[in-house]
Structure formats: C-alpha cells, structure tokens
C-alpha cells in the first residue's frame, strides 16, 4: 500500500469517528457534496480536503455508496455522469450504461410466445447487462480527475472494512427483498440473518467488497474487465449460484463481452428555460430529452402569475405529453435514429401545448406527437402506436459534487431494482444489475433487446447555468419517476420560487402518460390534492415515496448550498468544505 493511500485511509478514519449530526442542507464556501449517505458525502469532502477535484470526489462518493447503499448502485451496474469543467467553461457527459451481451436476441424475455413474468426476469442471469461503472470511473478519472483510482477508493475501503451501522431504512429495503435474496446464498450470507433482514443497529462489514476495491486499486480497470473477477461475473450470470431447490435462468455472457465494453463520451443534450441553460444526459438516457421537452411546453405559460394548483395541473399535463413521446421514440442512439431535434424544438412544444386544456385534465393517456417536421427531416418514419409504459423499477441513486475551482458533477448510477438481479458475485461482495429489464419485452419498439445495445434509461443528472456560470444541479433516483422528480423540482424552484430544500421536500406528483398520477403517502385528501382533483386529476390507489433527490445551488454571494432529502430515504446528507457561520 503506497504512502498516500495510507494517509487517505487514516484521514478518513479520523473523520468518520467525529460525532457530527447528519444534515440535509449545508451552506458555505469551497467544495460541496450531497448524497443519500452520510459516509458517502464525507468521502467526497475528504477527497476535496486532500486536494482532489469534483470528479475525484464524485467517484469516491460513488464507491462508498456501493457499500452503504448497495441495493441502489455499485460496480455491478452502470450510470451517467454530467460534468461542468470550469476551466474550459463546457459540459461533458460520460455514458457508462450497461450493454446487452453479444448473444442477446430481441426475444430475450419472450417465453412460449408470451412475455416472461417481470419478477422472474429480474431475478435471473438474463436480466444482467455488462457492467459499466468501473469503466466509467476510469474514463472520468483519466480524463478529468487529478487522483488515481487507488486514492479515491480509499475512503470506501475503510467503510467496507470497518463497517457501518444499519439504519431502519436499510433494514426495510432488505426486508422487501427477502424472497429474492434468499434465492442466492452469497446474497443471503451478506444481508440476511437466518433468512430474515439484517436488523437496524447491526454493524455491517463487507470484507469481500473491500478486497475487490483493493483489487481495482492495484490493477486498475483491467482487473474488473479481465482475469479472475471477470470470470466470476460471467460464471455468476451464466450459472446463477442459487439455493437448493431454486431454479434460476442463466444468460450467455462471455469474457469478450466484458473485455469489449466501452464507455461513451457524448455531447450533452441542451435546452433553455427562463434564462437558464440546461444540460443533461443524451440518449440512451431519455431523461434530459423528456424533461426539456416538458419545460419547453411549460415555458409558454406565465406560471409565476398562476395559483399553485394550476401550475401543478399544467406540470402534470406537460409531463403526460412528454412521456408519450419518450415511450414512442427514444432508445439507444447507436441503434435508433430518434427525432431528438424535433422533440426539443420550441415550435414543436407550442404544437403540443395547444392540446392542453388549462382548466381540465386529460382523462387518460395521449398519443405521441409528430416531431419530424420540426427537425427538417425529409423522411416520414412510421408513427408508433400507443402502448402501456414498460415497468421500470424505482431504485437508483444520485449524487452531486462541486469543488473550489467551480467544477461540478451530477452523477446518477444504478443496478436497477432494489438489489438488482439479487445476485452477489461470490467472494467479491457486490450485487449484479438487472438492467436489461429496462428494455421493452415485445417488438416492434425502438427499445427492444439487441446485441450490444444499451437499454433506455430515465436517469436525469442535470446542470443548469445562468450567464455562463453554474446556477444549480439536480438529479434523483426513481426509475421513470426520476424524470418527473427532476421536472417538478425545477418548476418548484424556478417558477414557484421555492428555496431548493423546499423544492425538493414538496409532495411529489408523477404523471407518466397514465390514467392516474402516482402520489406520495398523505397527499390524497390534502387541500392541494382536492384542488387538483377539481380540475380532473386522478390519483393512483397506492402511494409510495417518489425519488431521493440531491442538488447544489450556487449563490450570488459566492457560497454554495448543498441540499439532500429532508424526509425521504431516511434523510440525506449535505456538506460543504467551509460552512457559513
């Protein structure tokens, strides 16, 4: 172990022993970080304090989240990173979304002529895409970081070795997945005790993951995509090590699939909204395009002059229209020529806006629009038929970091379902994703499974600039509700004028082109709900928390405010290097 790594471990160990209260809002100078995990946020600040930049700190926080928030993210999955480079005054993005193995066919999830049961597909080798996270970290650090992978993994290694105290939220997530985790002995051994969820207050260590991180620290990216670790991933996916009497479908992933995996550096998707320049992730993430289309629709209304219930009504209707287009057109751009320019056209937004009744909700789903004339495309592709939204589990994580030089990272990454496929790679301590269930199961559709293809995502890491300088960043987990969480938070902050912490904590409404809108517990029956119901809005029967957002706000006085969840997901963690007094 080199001297710098030893120093990093010592500094982090000392820092984590300090009795500091977890807080979801912090304001001050220097760098800042917000995540759902106190340990992860402290990892980011520790790296910033050692002279690392925002990219270094983001990878450190992400690695720690792989320990403390393992059911949402980790090196067995993939994600999207949006980075503002202050020196160059530009935004870059890194796509390290998982890919389908080369043997994948469009009929991947078709069995006996019918779509496979969704939960059966999730807890199987068939659902596992080639992981992209480690390759993404490597690209980010090599191109834009200042530290080595070994240095930024040091805080996470300490947490994995020394352990952390399981809270009620962590235990609850395990409890919800007892059936899935009991199918796989390596997973059960790590997260269950006698077949039941690990109890709150338990000190949870993950020495296997610590060893895996050390393997990456010593061998770099090649230690993941070749050699014994790569073989263990392939063996787990193809021959899932399941409990006695449990049959689990395997896949046909190969070592070549891992060795050939590449991250993509893509141009960000860009739009404007009420004086802000918004930058997000391009396809195969549908988040940026969908949020920006909905904002373009809303820009035609003077929302600041309207009562809150009408603003929220218009937000729901704009989201409905944007989701219709999302589902019809968006997929991996290396396989589908999606009409992104048309979807982001202000004139197309005006066409879509004209279909909204400002006083009355649409009673059900709407058809996709026709964006092709708005991008001067001479072709006239076949128009897709309306169809039900493909299931997309609501479990991911988002973090955001800035540094004293003005660099900003908004990073969303995932293993998809709570606990992904449910399979821990034996001896290595991390869960594998079930990302391929983000494909549409039945053709024809732009988002059907194909060899090497990246399934469409809803992840929406977003950075907003004003007058050429960072104004805020925002992102969230939540499957397809990520899009509505980011959209509603921007509306709350920009149009309703709420401070960012209130914009995040406000009750969330998620309309994704369905007959009813998803809401959170306690919303139905409120005055807000009754006012919207009076305009014809309808609520889903089951209420659940929506998202777990994290944001940064860059204030006019040169300070930065880091904001995490004030009540969702067990409360988030926000820190700055030098707090304001």
Structure tokens at 210: 């610590």
**Which pLDDT score, from 0 to 100, does residue 18 have?**
34
**Which pLDDT score, from 0 to 100, does residue 387 have?**
53
Q: What SS3 class is residue 473? A: strand
Cα of first residue to Cα of last residue in the chain, in angstroms, is 39
Max Cα–Cα distance, the chain, nearest Å: 66
Which helix (H) or strand (E) is 32 found in, with range?
Answer: strand 25-35
317 φ/ψ angles, rounded to the nearest 5 degrees = -70, -40
Q: How far is CA 528 from CA 419, 497, 535, 543, in A?
A: 35, 17, 11, 15
**Which pLDDT score, from 0 to 100, does residue 376 have?**
77
Structure tokens at 225: 């995509």
**Which pLDDT score, from 0 to 100, does residue 177 have?**
92
- Where are the alpha helices (H) located in 491-564, listed in sequence order? 500-505, 527-533
Structure tokens at 125: 């080798």
Structure tokens at 34: 């917000």
CA count, 13 A, side-chain hemisphere, 245: 1
Q: How many angstroms separate the CA atoms of 285 and 332, rounded?
A: 8
For residue 508, give every residue at least 6 positions away whose Cβ sits within 8 Å of its Cβ, in sequence order, or none: 481, 484, 485, 488, 519, 520, 546, 547
> Which residues are part of the catalytic machinery?
396
Bridge partners, residue 269, by sequence: 280
**Which pLDDT score, from 0 to 100, does residue 384 have?**
58
Region of 140 (left: φ > 0; alpha: ψ -120 to 50; beta: rest) is: alpha
**Which pLDDT score, from 0 to 100, does residue 5 have?**
44
Q: How many angstroms separate the CA atoms of 514 and 532, rounded?
A: 16
Q: Supply the Cα-derived Rg of the chain in whole angstroms.
A: 22
Contact between residue 405 and residue 413 where contact means Cβ atoms under 8 Å apart: no
**Which pLDDT score, from 0 to 100, does residue 16 have?**
41
Q: Would you list the DSSP string of 52-72?
A: --HHHHHHHHHHHHHHHSTTT
Along the 581 residues of the chain, how does pLDDT read in single tens digits? Answer: 444 444 344 444 433 433 345 799 999 999 999 999 999 999 999 999 999 999 999 999 999 999 999 999 999 999 999 999 999 999 999 999 999 999 999 999 999 999 999 999 999 999 999 999 999 999 999 999 999 999 999 999 999 999 999 999 899 999 999 999 999 999 999 999 999 999 999 999 999 999 999 999 999 999 999 999 999 999 999 999 999 999 999 999 999 999 999 999 999 999 999 999 999 999 999 999 999 999 999 999 999 999 999 999 999 999 999 999 999 999 999 999 999 999 999 999 999 999 999 999 999 999 999 999 998 766 666 555 555 555 544 468 999 999 999 999 999 999 998 899 999 999 999 999 999 999 999 989 999 999 999 999 999 999 999 999 999 999 999 989 999 999 999 999 999 999 999 999 999 999 999 999 999 999 999 999 999 999 999 999 989 999 999 999 999 999 999 999 999 988 999 999 999 97
Contact between residue 397 and residue 73 where contact means Cβ atoms under 8 Å apart: yes
Core vs surface per residue 296-314: b (16+ CB within 10 A) or e: bbbbbbebeebeebbbbbb
């Amino acid at each position: 172990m080199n001297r710098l790594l030893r120093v990093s471990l010592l500094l982090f160990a000392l820092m984590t022993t300090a009795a500091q209260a977890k807080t979801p809002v912090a304001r001050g100078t220097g760098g800042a970080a917000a995540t759902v995990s106190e340990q992860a946020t402290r990892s980011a600040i520790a790296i910033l304090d050692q002279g690392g930049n925002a990219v270094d700190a983001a990878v450190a926080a992400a690695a720690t989240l792989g320990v403390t928030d393992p059911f949402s993210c980790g090196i067995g999955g993939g994600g999207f990173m949006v980075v503002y480079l202050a020196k160059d005054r530009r935004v870059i993005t890194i796509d390290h979304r998982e890919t389908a193995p080369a043997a994948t066919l469009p009929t991947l999830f078709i069995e006996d002529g019918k779509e496979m049961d969704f939960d059966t597909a999730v807890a199987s080798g068939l659902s596992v895409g080639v992981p992209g996270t480690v390759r993404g970290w490597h690209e980010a650090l090599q191109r834009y970081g200042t530290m080595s992978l070994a240095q930024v993994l040091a805080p996470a290694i300490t947490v994995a070795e020394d352990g952390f105290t399981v809270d009620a939220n962590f235990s609850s997530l395990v409890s919800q997945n007892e059936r899935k985790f009991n199918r796989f002995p390596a997973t059960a051994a790590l997260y269950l005790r006698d077949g039941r969820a690990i109890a709150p207050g338990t000190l949870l260590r993950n020495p296997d993951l610590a060893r895996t991180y050390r393997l990456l620290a010593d061998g770099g990216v090649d230690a993941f995509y070749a050699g014994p670790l790569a073989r263990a991933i392939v063996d787990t996916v193809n021959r899932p090590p399941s409990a006695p009497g449990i049959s689990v479908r395997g896949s046909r992933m190969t070592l070549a699939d891992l060795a050939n995996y590449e991250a993509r550096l893509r141009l960000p998707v860009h739009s404007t909204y009420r004086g802000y320049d918004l930058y997000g992730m391009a396809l195969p993430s549908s988040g940026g395009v969908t949020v920006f289309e909905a904002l373009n629709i809303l820009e035609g209304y003077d929302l600041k002059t309207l009562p809150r219930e009408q603003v929220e009504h218009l937000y729901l209707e704009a989201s409905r229209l944007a989701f219709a287009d999302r589902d019809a057109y968006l997929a991996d751009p290396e396989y589908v020529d999606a009409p992104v320019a048309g979807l982001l056209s202000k004139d197309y937004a005006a066409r879509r806006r004209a279909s909204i009744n400002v006083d009355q909700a649409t009673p059900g789903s709407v058809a996709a629009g026709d964006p092709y004339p708005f991008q001067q495309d001479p072709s006239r592709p076949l128009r897709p038929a309306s169809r039900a939204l493909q299931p997309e589990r609501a479990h991911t994580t988002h973090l955001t970091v800035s540094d004293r030089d003005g660099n900003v990272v908004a990073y969303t990454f995932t293993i998809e379902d709570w606990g992904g496929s449910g399979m821990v790679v034996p001896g290595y301590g991390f869960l594998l994703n079930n990302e391929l269930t983000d494909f549409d199961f039945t053709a024809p559709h732009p988002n059907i499974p194909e060899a090497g293809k990246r399934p469409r995502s809803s992840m929406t890491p977003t950075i907003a600039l004003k007058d050429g300088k960072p104004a805020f960043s925002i992102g969230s987990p939540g499957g397809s509700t990520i899009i509505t969480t980011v959209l509603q938070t921007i509306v709350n902050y920009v149009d309703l004028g709420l401070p960012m912490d209130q914009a995040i904590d406000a009750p969330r409404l998620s309309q994704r082109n369905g007959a009813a809108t998803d809401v959170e517990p306690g919303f139905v029956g409120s005055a807000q709900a009754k006012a919207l119901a009076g305009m014809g809005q309808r609520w889903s029967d089951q209420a659940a928390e929506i998202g777990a957002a994290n944001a940064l706000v860059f204030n006019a006085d040169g300070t930065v405010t880091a904001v995490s969840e004030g009540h969702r997901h067990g409360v988030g963690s926000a820190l700055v290097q030098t707090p304001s007094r």
